[in-house]
Amino acid sequence: MTAETKLDRVGVVVHPRRDIDDAMDRLRAWADAAGAEIVQVQMPGVDRVVAEPATAESCDLVAALGGDGTTLAALHAAGPAGRPVLGVACGSLGALTATSGDQVDDALRAIGAGDWQPRRLPGIAVAAEAAEPVVALNDFVVVRKGASQIAVAIEVDGELFIRFAGDGIVIATPLGSSAYTMAAGGPIIAPGTDSIVLTPLAPHGGTCPPLVVGCESELRVTIEPGWYGARAELDGHVHDLPGSTLSMTWRAGHATLVTLAGAETLLTGLRRRRILMDSPRVLARDDRAPSVTRR
């Protein structure tokens, strides 16, 4: 539990299409009762307008109305400003959302009373030689644009790990390790483990296992685009590839996510959403258990 939290101005980041009317009605009713102001932190590509525009810096809290993608967008806006983000699920509860749309007013009352915990999320700063770094909270991905492969070389602390040709590479935080990384056959990194995981995508031949790198290591990835080139994706959004040689730097506590009392853990959430599932043999054994006498 933290100290009582001032909530004079709450910014909202909204999903471009999901039904958020009930959540907004509850937000406005809470604001009227609390004497607070609701404003909108606008995101690129989102034309939906629900409140007067404002910056994340001017808010005490940013509420993301939508799902995990909307919450990630809010974290990118609020992280550099040092503002916490409340993820509000307008649909199914995800890994980053702390409450649902029909309970957002209760969540704000709890936050105002100090009944919440800050969850500090690390990021990975990705920089080319002469470019400003971009920070990924989930993952930074480089993939081929067309039919030709791209070549990737990975160096750790100045030592070559592997060179491979394939579809690309996923570079992820522990948070992002349960997303694209897991889907590509990489490991899940347990929460609280300060490390970066690199997962090759469809490598053609050779031995190219995923690599887990400590947060203090010097990490460099060199990209050789194929005939059709390569593109980058930053937390699921297409991004200009900043250069052919990329340096990765750990950013501890880059953004802050609101966690409420009784919040489920990451692994519990993955199991609830059936992203993690027990093997059929184990489940079949559980089904037989009531009718089988164990000795």
Instruction: Write the CATH number for 33.
Output: 3.40.50.10330
Same domain? For 25 and 51 the reply is yes
**How would you classify the pairing of strands 116-127 and 245-260?**
antiparallel
**pLDDT at residue 225 in the model:** 92
Query: Sorting pLDDT into bands at 50, 70 and 90, what band is 112?
Result: very high
| Last residue of one domain, picked from the residues 96, 114, 132 | 114
Q: Tell me, yes or no, whether 286 lies in a domain.
A: no
Same domain? For 138 and 87 the reply is no
CB 189 within 8 A of CB 163: no
Q: What is the mean pLDDT of residues 259-272?
A: 88
Whether 240 is a known active-site residue: answer no
Same domain? For 142 and 60 the reply is no
- pLDDT above 60: residue 267: yes
Q: Tell me, yes or no, whether 36 lies in a domain.
A: yes
Radius of gyration of the chain (CA): 21
Q: What is the mean pLDDT of residues 162-172?
A: 97
Q: Tell me, yes or no, whether 293 lies in a domain.
A: no
Nearest to 219 by CA among 198, 204, 241, 192: 198
Q: Tell me, yes or no, whether 272 lies in a domain.
A: no
| Last residue of one domain, picked from the residues 47, 80, 114 | 114
Same domain? For 187 and 87 the reply is no
Same domain? For 179 and 162 the reply is yes
Query: Sorting pLDDT into bands at 50, 70 and 90, what band is 243?
Result: confident
State the DSSP code for 97: -
Q: What is the mean pLDDT of residues 37-50?
A: 94
Same domain? For 222 and 148 the reply is yes
- pLDDT above 80: residue 290: no
Q: What is the mean pLDDT of residues 30-56?
A: 95
Q: Tell me, yes or no, whether 168 lies in a domain.
A: yes
Query: Sorting pLDDT into bands at 50, 70 and 90, what band is 3?
Result: low
The pLDDT tens digits for 89-103 are: 998 778 899 999 999
Query: Sorting pLDDT into bands at 50, 70 and 90, what band is 289?
Result: confident
The enclosing domain of 183 has a CATH number of 2.60.200.30
**pLDDT at residue 241 in the model:** 83
Enclosing domain of residue 245: 123-252
Same domain? For 108 and 164 the reply is no
Q: Tell me, yes or no, whether 290 lies in a domain.
A: no
Q: What is the mean pLDDT of residues 12-19?
A: 94
| Last residue of one domain, picked from the residues 215, 234, 252 | 252
State the DSSP code for 235: T
How far, in Å, CA of 166 to CA of 144, rounded? Answer: 8
Q: Tell me, yes or no, whether 222 lies in a domain.
A: yes
**pLDDT at residue 292 in the model:** 52
Which residue out of 68, 105, 139, 235 is catalytically annotated?
68
Same domain? For 127 and 108 the reply is no
Number of domains in the chain: 2
Same domain? For 47 and 105 the reply is yes
How many CA atoms lie within 13 Å of 286's alpha carbon, on the beta-carbon side? 6
Structure-block tokens of residue 168: 């690309």
Same domain? For 138 and 204 the reply is yes
Q: Tell me, yes or no, whether 86 lies in a domain.
A: yes
Residues in the chain: 295
Same domain? For 43 and 94 the reply is yes
Whole-number mean pLDDT of the chain?
Answer: 92
- pLDDT above 90: residue 255: yes
pTM of the model as a whole = 0.90
Query: Sorting pLDDT into bands at 50, 70 and 90, what band is 295?
Result: very low
Same domain? For 132 and 184 the reply is yes
